């Protein structure tokens, strides 16, 4: 079956399937079902479900969902002429790895499709009845899974094949949303010297998987600076901008202010040198710049300036709660990823994350209360549900037992502070137990993406053993 998995992967890789361009890969899945005389469903969002009866000793067992997503992230090098809308990546073998020529490979999550299809077309593997679910547009917000009608699925257990570490079983993931705060702009006449201040050189990073690295958020740092000078210097803000992605720790922020304090620049430089010294161990490349740009006559009102600084200083940031169930897991966090001066309002775009739905709701209530205190408008968008940990499920136990039998050691039990489709499925299928697993991959979503051949071969045998031993 291992050879069949790699053959399937090569065929799948030939199909253009970037996010938002999933019609042809859905066609491929349907053609596969027809060739193998398997029942299937396809919806208007290019999700495909393929059904197969149980085989051999698994014929009369409870069904299981095998799930992967059909889309891939399309990245290429600056000198590549590859057209992802017309062709898939060109596979290159490099020792133990499958790579692509100057592009992403799409093993995330093409290898899942290849493995599931190999199981579906086999006639000598013992397995329960299978509900194979191929979801679209996972990489741009789990859109396919969110739109999927799951009423046709009878299983209460699922193996998601979208993990990248072969020694790890993922059993929980965060849910989240974007929480928007819009602070109406008010201008007043105010004259003085104008200063452009910018913060650069911070590391930034992903607000989920790197929120525990202690990295400084440039927007929060701007709030600290402005709050420090609020009682010391009479100033007004004119504009402020930082970040362009809510799920990224902001690495740059710039703002303009007006003041009549003749010594402001010297005071600001001295204070920022103190901050630079304080954070140098975690942010060694942090730099700041203060430029005087002449006279200005208008600025934000005193009230707006105060409200803006109040929000920046008092909104929680970073890790808010660690898990009591899984050691080392960030359970709840908040990131101010975007701070932007629009025409009529100042936009604060916070990214919420938590592995607990109740914690997400409280965080929204907490920010709403803060925003209401300064008469700002709020809106929640892009919600995706968490996948809460269900300790010691039979599915998890069976997988671990099979892993120990094959490798002579226990796998790591892990949870991630980012989203997986398991959360969407668990929110729609009451009582669902799930695990997320996969073969070893590196640098996914980049042109250096690679899939370990030997790990994939071992993983195929492991999944066969798991399916044969499910109760």
Which residue, 131, 121, 136, 117, is CA-closest to 8? 117
Q: How many residues does the chain have?
A: 471
The 10s digit of each residue's pLDDT in 203-218 is 999 898 899 999 999 9
pLDDT score, position 257: 96
Average pLDDT over residues 7-15: 98
The CA R_g of the chain, rounded to the nearest whole Å, is 26
328 is written with which tokens? 């080392």
Average pLDDT over residues 297-309: 94
Q: How confident is the model at residue 347 (pLDDT cuts 50, 70, 90)?
A: very high
Q: How confident is the model at residue 155 (pLDDT cuts 50, 70, 90)?
A: very high
The 10s digit of each residue's pLDDT in 418-453 is 899 999 999 999 999 999 999 999 999 999 999 999
The 10s digit of each residue's pLDDT in 50-99 is 999 999 999 999 999 999 999 999 999 999 999 999 999 999 999 999 99
Q: How confident is the model at residue 2 (pLDDT cuts 50, 70, 90)?
A: confident
Average pLDDT over residues 242-263: 94
Whether the Cβ atoms of residue 419 and residue 382 lie closer than 8 Å to each other: no
Question: What is d(CA 68, CA 391) in angstroms, rounded to the nearest whole number?
Answer: 23
148 is written with which tokens? 């999927």
Give the predicted TM-score (pTM) of the model: 0.84
Domains of the chain: 2-173+387-469 (3.40.630.10), 177-384 (3.30.70.360)
The 10s digit of each residue's pLDDT in 185-207 is 999 999 899 999 999 999 999 89
pLDDT score, position 327: 87
Question: What is d(CA 466, CA 432) in angstroms, rounded to the nearest whole number?
Answer: 18
The 10s digit of each residue's pLDDT in 273-299 is 999 999 999 999 999 999 998 877 789
Question: What is d(CA 315, CA 306) in angstroms, rounded to the nearest whole number?
Answer: 14
Classify residue 156 by its DSSP letter: S
């Amino acid at each position: 079956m291992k050879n069949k998995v790699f053959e399937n992967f090569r065929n799948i890789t030939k199909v253009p399937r970037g996010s938002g361009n999933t019609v042809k890969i859905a066609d491929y899945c349907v053609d596969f079902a027809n060739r193998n005389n398997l029942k299937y469903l396809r919806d208007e969002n290019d999700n495909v479900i393929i059904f197969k009866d149980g085989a051999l000793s698994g014929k009369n067992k409870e069904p299981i969902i095998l799930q992967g997503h059909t889309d891939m992230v399309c990245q290429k090098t600056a000198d590549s002429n590859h057209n992802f809308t017309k062709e898939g990546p060109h596979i290159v073998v490099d020792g133990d790895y499958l790579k692509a020529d100057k592009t992403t490979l799409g093993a995330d999550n093409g290898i899942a499709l290849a493995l599931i299809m190999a199981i579906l077309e086999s006639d000598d593997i013992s397995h329960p009845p299978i509900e194979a679910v191929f979801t679209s547009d996972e990489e741009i917000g789990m859109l396919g899974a969110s739109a999927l009608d799951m009423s046709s699925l009878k299983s209460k257990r699922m193996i998601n094949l979208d993990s990248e570490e072969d020694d790890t079983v993922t059993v929980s993931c965060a849910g989240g949303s974007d929480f928007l705060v819009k602070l109406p702009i008010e201008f007043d006449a105010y004259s003085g010297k104008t200063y452009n201040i910018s913060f650069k050189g911070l590391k930034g990073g992903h607000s989920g998987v790197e929120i525990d690295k202690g990295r400084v958020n440039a927007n929060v740092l701007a709030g600290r600076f402005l709050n420090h000078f609020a009682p010391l210097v009479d100033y007004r803000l004119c504009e402020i901008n930082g970040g362009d992605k809510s799920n990224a720790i902001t690495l740059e922020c710039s703002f303009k202010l007006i003041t009549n304090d003749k010594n402001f620049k010297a005071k600001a430089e001295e204070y920022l040198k103190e901050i630079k010294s304080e954070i140098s161990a975690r942010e060694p490349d942090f730099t700041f710049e203060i430029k005087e740009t002449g006279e200005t006559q208008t600025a934000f009102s005193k009230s707006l300036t105060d409200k803006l600084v109040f929000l920046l200083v008092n909104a929680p940031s970073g890790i808010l709660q660690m898990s009591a169930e899984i050691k080392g897991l960030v359970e709840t966090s908040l990131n101010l990823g975007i701070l932007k001066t629009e025409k009529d309002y100042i936009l604060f775009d916070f990214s919420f994350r938590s592995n607990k739905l109740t914690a997400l709701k409280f965080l929204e209530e907490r920010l709403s209360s803060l925003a209401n205190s300064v008469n700002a408008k709020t809106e929640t968008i892009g919600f995706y549900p968490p996948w809460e940990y269900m300790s010691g499920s039979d599915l998890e136990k069976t997988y671990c037992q099979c892993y120990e039998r094959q490798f002579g050691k226990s796998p790591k039990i892990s949870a991630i502070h980012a989203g997986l489709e398991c959360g969407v499925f668990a929110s729609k299928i009451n009582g669902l137990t799930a695990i997320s697993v996969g073969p070893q991959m590196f640098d996914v979503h980049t042109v250096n993406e690679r899939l370990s051949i030997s790990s994939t071969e071992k993983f195929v045998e492991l999944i066969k053993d798991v399916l044969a031993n499910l109760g």
